[in-house]
Structure 1
Amino acid sequence: MNRREMLLVVGGAAVAAAASSVVAPKAAQAQPKEFEPAVAGEPNAAWGAKADALTPALTETAQPPLALVRAVADPSAPLRWRMEPEGEGLAGRAFKKGDSFILDFGGHRTGHLAFRLETVGREPDAPARLRLTFGEVPSDVAEPLYPYNGMLSGAWLPDEIVNIDYLPQAVQLPRRYAFRYVKVEVIDTSSGFSIRFEDVKAIGLTSAKAAPAPLPSKYSDLARRIDAVALATLRDCMQTTFEDGPRRDQRLWVGDLRLQALANYATFKQNDLVKRCLYLFAAYRRQDGLVAACVYEKPKARYGGIHIVDYAALFNVALADYLEATGDEATARELWPVAKRQLEIIGQRINADGRYVDPGNVWIFIDWSPDLHKDAAIQGLLVFAHKRTLDLARKLGVQAEVADYPALIERMTMAARGYWDASAKAFVSGPNRQVSWASQAWMAIGGVLPAKDCATALKTAFGRADAVKPVTPYLYHYMVEAMLDSGLDKDAKALVESYWGGMVKAGADTFWEVYDPAKPLSSPYGDIHINSYCHAWSCTPTYFYRARGMVA
């Protein structure tokens, strides 16, 4: 089971107030327990072959550990622990049964661990058995991973027990990990010998090429650090696809791709990787042509079998972004029928007044917040997707195929304005007239009111203690995007510095999948040890700085 698939079982997100406790969703609009059928269509072999031909080579970079460290409990730290140096390093040290140590590689990487195991004492007459725990953050190696109480498969937990049968021996673990820290525990050897670790190294993997230059000195030190962490996040998620997280899922998702691609256009410029991902989504769709929310890449590319309304609509936006960034009209033209089909399918649930009506058996994501009512947000998002799809059609000269779009967009916009509450000075959603950041953000991005009115709505939500806030960097991205679209540049800058800067101040080397500043131990999955701490949808501050002109 993976992060989004759990909804097929539990019917809604759950948020952990601490690593071992789960808070049930409070939202009146819980996710459905039964989804509409997902039947794979016939793969498009030609598009699959194009995607295969675009598979990038991975660059390997070896990194020795910088220090031995120890974990120190720290109640003031957001994740409860900090690291302190310990000892002089591994050189010359021998370890026996029951010994352990923690290596610090000085920064996050996605890749393999390699070392040479030597012996001290008599000739080895037994294997060495080791437990290796890989940590993106200190709590991964400071706290026991078991008993595990999360909703996702415990097979994702970043630990390994290995037996080294013949000593001395060079070892490279075949499984790929995402880590900064490695805790090594010697479970057993025989009593007659000890072991030494030599030539220890992390072998980092990425398809990203040369990193862009750091931000210039006109940016604050905090902004430059935020940008550097965002670049590291994107780099370590850039493998043979844009993975959502190299630690867990390791999969291609539409929502993550759109944000990774925006950051990539402004930084690494590996545009063929975006192209490969677009062809993968197009090649492996549902029987009726709906794009899957995710695609499995290994051992071979195949249909993901999960569908999210907002992600299907954002495929079109990602394709329009790709054309704008690259000028690759041939690819956009070839994939245009896929884009058009997404809104044909979604449009079956748009009523005569232009309002999207949730049928109750589809997944609308928007954010992991369990309290969020999503009707207003999905309406604004779909207005945005239709506008971007119409713009794409015009650039390709096929606007006659969507001649009904201008009138449809007008009806959808009028329906979106029906969520406006003049007395609250904000968009509201649901029977309780909920005010949320999500509703204001997507209505602003959709441009359903003039920018000054959207700015008022955003500031209203931002200032209300009872407004439902995001719990993921994914939705925080769209809040910042909405602020920039609405002329709130200073507010956008302040939000990036407080939110992503908060992770930096908490010691993040890469940005996290979930971060709630008020509850930093939150997890949608019931256990923080299954959270991803290098996650694609959190990499976009570098896009805001480099492509949107946000100066700090």
Structure 2
Amino acid sequence: MVPDAAQVLRFRAEQAASIPDFSTQSFRKGDSFILDFGGHRTGYLSFDLRTVGREPDAPARLKLTFGEVPPDVAEPLHPYDGKISEAWLPEEIITVDYLPQSVRMPRRYAFRYVRVDVIDTSPGFSVRFANVRAHAVTSAGPMPAPIGATPRRKRMDEVAMATLHDCMQTSFEDGPRRDQRLWVGDLRLQALANYASFRSNDLVKRCLYLFAAYCDKDGLVAACVYEKPYPRYGGMHIIDYAALFNVTLRDYVVATGDIETGRDLWPVAQRQLELLSRWISPDGLFLDPGNMWIFIDWASKLHKAAAIQGLLAFAWDATADLAARIGKDAEAGPIRARTKAMRQAGRAAYWDAARGVVTSGPDKQVSWASAAWAVLGGMLSPPEGRRAMRGALDDPQALKPFTPYLYHYVVEALVTCGEKKRAGQMLDDYWGAMLDAGADTFWEVFDPANPLSSPYGDIHVNSYCHAWSCTPSYFLRNGIL
């Protein structure tokens, strides 16, 4: 790995040896090397450890560092000062007592690169590595052939499919490196891409039932579910994710025609509306209780009132549609009426018709999130939506998204309000910038203006294969863009 300030992630890979050459090399205390597997893998590592020199009179101690991107293996992971557990850092120290020996690492990793540092052997022998293998695991079927009107779009679809593929395990994981668990917000976007690609619809169904089974005592859907060593309640809640459970269920019924599952899980969907309604005024305006997590995006300065209002109206509308599709017409009517009130309340509170922008908070913040969710929530007419989206996107002071998750909804809002050309350009500019940076799977967070930023305080715990970034395939494979 060579430091290179011209690279987005500050390093470039240069081949130092071919695989045949590597198989003849031996390594002693203080030596290190980096292996490039040529693409992202979720799985296990194995190798044969052999010796050169006298009979081994000591164990071999090795440090292995697994990297999704070059900085993971090109620079030290310590000292670590991130906001989440240091245990997520992808490194292991192992001691191999008896040599020669075949070694299979017991943990599953997400990686393209593996750095091996020889901590020690003994002065009389060195070690040689042979038959190094990455054993990839996924529950996805064969990779579909990439599609796209241009080579760049085809590559974008290929990388998006690789991202989804490596996140599909016994559930739709958010990231195979971190957090390795099921989140509602990620699931919704993964499922949309899945319906247009792998069509592992039973996996979506399983995830929906996991969320339904492990709600809190009142029935509020958890933001995430832990699956290993056994399925259990995730213990945290996000208002927008609870609402998006209903949207994900509706999407599933539309994609699969599985009315039976829609009916079976309808009480869970109903309960989300009942519980979330505690924080919605009689005239339809969401009132932040102050003790619940509202996500929308990782952008730290984002004021979320307008966005959550639009998102909840979006979810209420999807729930009414779900009710109609599963034969619950009596329930659909009141939900539609409530949706209308929420739209009107949101419009009155956040739409600045004179300026043509959606604002949020006491400082009248303009953000891409507020505009996008106002459009998706039906708070604005199509001409107003176009004006609002242009007003936000053309304002250099407007707060931009920090994640591909929110960028998806911005693209979706542009399509919804008739700005299809601009939506396609955003796809090319944003996800294309990750391609230009060398991504072979798409990333959890990416700020083009500050690509080394992290919501966790250290890029080495960022996930560089992350579920919510896979939706270029949704737009491309459905012919939307």
TM-score range normalised by the length of the shorter chain = over 0.9
Structure 2 contact 321–332 (Cα < 8 Å) conserved:
no
Residue of structure 1 equivalent to 2:169 = 239
Matched residue SS, 2:137: strand
List runs of 5+ in structure 2 lacking aligned partners.
Answer: none
Partner of 1:527: 458
Partner in structure 1 of residue 255 of structure 2? 325
Deviation at 1:549, TM superposition (A): 2.6
- Contact 2:320 2:331 (8 Å CA) reproduced: no
Q: Which amino acid is 2:459 matched to? A: I
State the shift of 1:77 in Å: 1.1
Q: Tell me which residue corresponds to 1:456.
A: 387
Give the 5 Å matches for 1:175-186: 175-186=107-118
Equivalent runs, 1:80-119 vs 2, <5 Å: 80-89=10-19, 90-119=22-51
Establish whether residue 502 from structure 1 lines up as the match of residue 433 from structure 2.
yes
TM (norm. structure 2) is: 0.98
Higher relative contact order structure (alpha carbons within 8 Å, sequence separation ≥ 6): 1
| Separation in 2, partners of 1:549, 1:309 | 29
Partner letter of residue 494 of structure 1?
A: Q
Contact 2:189 2:471 in 1 (8 A): yes
Out of 69, 73, 90, which is 1:158 matched to?
A: 90
2:129 to 185, 193, 197: 197
Alignment partner of 2:265: what SS?
helix
Contact 2:369–2:400 (Cα < 8 Å) also in 1: yes
Displacement of 1:401 after TM fit? 3.0
Mapping of 1:394-433 within 5 angstroms? 394-418=324-348, 419-433=350-364
Q: Find the counterpart in structure 1 of residue 397 from structure 2.
A: 466
* 1:517 aligns to 2:451 (yes or no): no
Distance 1:333 1:283 in 2: 15
- SS for the counterpart of 2:314 is helix
Q: 2: CA distance between counterparts of 1:399 and 1:357? A: 29
1:87: how far off?
A: 2.3
1:349-387 deviations in Å (ceiling 9; x for gaps): 111111010011111100000110000000000111011
Q: CA deviation at 1:529?
A: 0.5
Q: Distance in 1 between matches of 2:277 and 2:18?
A: 64
The question of whether the paired residues in 1 share the 8 Å contact of 2:316 and 2:336 is answered with: no
Q: 1:266-324 deviations in whole A, cap 9, x for unaligned?
A: 00000000000000000000000000000000000000010000000000000000000
Separation in 2, partners of 1:518, 1:423: 31
**Are 1:120 and 2:52 matched, yes or no?**
yes
- The answer for the alignment partner of 2:159 in structure 1 is 229
Match of 1:537 among 464, 468, 471: 468
Other-structure match for 2:144:
212
Q: In the alignment, which of 51, 58, 76 is matched to residue 144 of structure 1? A: 76
Distance (whole Å) between structure 2 residues aligned to residue 502 and residue 437 of structure 1:
19
Which of residues 492, 496, 501 is equivalent to 2:423?
A: 492
Q: Which amino acid aligns with 1:91?
A: S
What value does the CA root-mean-square deviation take over the aligned residues?
0.9
Q: Distance in 2 between matches of 1:221 and 1:300?
A: 43
Residue type of the partner of 1:196?
Answer: R
Once the two structures are superposed, what CA deviation does each residue of 1:71-102 show, in whole Å capped at 9, x if it has no partner?
11111111111111102331211111111000
What aligned pairs does 1:357-396 form with structure 2 within 5 A after superposition? 357-396=287-326
- Deviations 1:115-173, CA, capped at 9 Å, x for gaps: 00111111111110000000000000001000100010000100000001011111110
Give the paired residue count.
478
User: Which amino acid letter does the alignment assign opposite residue 110 of structure 1?
Assistant: T
Which of 356, 367, 374 is the aligned partner of 1:436?
A: 367
Aligned: 1:309 with 2:239: yes
Larger deviation, residues 235-244 vs 86-95: 86-95
Query: In the TM superposition, what is the alpha-carbon distance from 1:402 to its structure 2 partner?
Result: 4.7
Q: Distance in 1 between matches of 2:333 and 2:393?
A: 38
Is the partner of 1:162 in helix, strand or coil? strand
Decide which of 474, 477, 480 is 2:411's aligned counterpart: 480
- In structure 1, the gaps of 5 or more residues are 1-70
Q: How does the TM-score come out when normalised to structure 1? A: 0.86
How far off its partner does 1:548 sit? 4.3
For residues 403-451 of structure 1, give each alpha carbon's deviation from its aligned partner in whole angstroms, at most 9, with x where no partner exists: 4223211211111111110222111001111110001111111122211
Provide the residue aligned with 1:171 in structure 2: 103
Query: After the TM superposition, which parts of structure 1 deviate over 6 Å for at least 4 consecutive aligned residues?
Result: none
